[in-house]
Amino acid sequence: MDLRERIIENAMDMFLHRGCKSVTMDDVATENGISKRTLYEMFSDKSTFLEECILYSSEKMKCNMEEMRKAPGNVLDLLFKVHENQSELSVNLRINFFIELKKFYPEIYTKFVEKFARYHTENISGFLKRGQAEGLVLDDIDTPIVSKAIIEISNIIGNKDIFSLEDITRKQLFKETLIYFFRGISTQKGIEIIDKYLNQK
């Protein structure tokens, strides 16, 4: 990892934990043991820097998703893996980050949310088609509509105005929404796999 990547990774961690508004370029320079001048030679301003951090993180996320997609098992195994990896801390950090990004950097927020939406729609569509090929997802579903519905459910899970963490955990929400949604679009074979997973919980 070169210096630029290290700075971006450290800064993204700072933005997630402390907020994109409160973290200054001075803070980033100090955290990375470099001068503010050196930082500005690499990144012209905070907005540009923030964009690069988000872009870098999104590319890492895509790589992680690709690795998960290539892992042994079927699409439902992947769904269960995502469910098991629902970390309250990491989910809440991401939610708070994007709430603050929307408030203080609306142009960056709009740009990346649209990009994420396109990527996730394509990714979920491929996920559903794979499930159909595996005989786990119903063949007669409207893939584009179902893909958008899954994205909206994911957005609801992350909306603290709808679901308070005092009432339910993100992991429980994932189960009660997405897993049961998938059960509704699954074949009998898929339903049996999902029910077996749920009965073990």
pLDDT in tens, the chain (201 residues): 799 999 999 999 999 999 999 999 999 999 999 999 999 999 999 999 999 999 999 899 888 888 888 889 999 999 998 888 766 556 667 778 888 999 999 999 999 888 888 888 999 999 999 999 999 999 999 999 999 999 999 888 877 778 776 667 878 889 999 999 999 999 999 999 999 999 997
Q: What is the pTM of this model?
A: 0.81
Question: What count of other Cβ atoms lies within 10 Å of the Cβ of residue 84?
Answer: 12
Element (H, E) at 148: helix 143-157
All domains in the chain, ordered by first residue: 1-60 (1.10.10.60), 71-201 (1.10.357)
How far lies 79's CA from each of 100, 127, 163, in Å?
29, 10, 21
